[in-house]
């Protein structure tokens, strides 16, 4: 039986090289957003290998990302009711 769904567009793959993290925030949908300077280049998919995009950063930028994530998670957790923190009362 033939698949009747419209054919999916091929995934576009990229290499994203983070140059600098500038800011982090959360929105009303619980998403984390990062403002970055980045170099983005298209990648040609290789036959037989699942297409994926890559994020590349230095160790220093990875440490900045970790600090920003910790700050954003603390902000998210502070907005949750105490009963959702997993702590009693």
- What value, to the nearest 5°, has the Cα angle with vertex 31 and ends 29 and 32? 150
pTM of the entire predicted model: 0.68
- Condensed to tens digits (0 to 9), the pLDDT of residues 73-86 reads 998 888 888 765 55
Average pLDDT of span 5-26: 85
The pLDDT, as a whole number, for residue 7 is 66
Confidence of residue 48 (pLDDT cuts 50, 70, 90): confident
The pLDDT, as a whole number, for residue 72 is 92
* pLDDT above 70 (res 44): yes
Instruction: For the beta carbon of residue 21, count every other beta carbon within 10 angstroms.
Output: 19
Q: Which two tokens stand for residue 60?
A: 């220093």
Q: Residue ranges of the domains in the chain?
A: 14-45+52-84
């Amino acid at each position: 039986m033939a698949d009747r769904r419209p054919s999916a567009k091929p995934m576009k793959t990229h290499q994203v090289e983070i140059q600098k993290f500038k800011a982090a925030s959360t929105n009303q949908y619980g998403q984390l957003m990062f403002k970055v300077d980045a170099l983005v280049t298209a990648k040609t998919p290789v036959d037989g290998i699942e297409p994926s995009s890559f994020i590349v950063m230095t160790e220093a930028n990875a440490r900045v990302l970790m600090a920003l994530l910790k700050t954003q998670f603390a902000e998210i957790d502070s907005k949750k009711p105490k009963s959702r923190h997993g702590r009693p009362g």
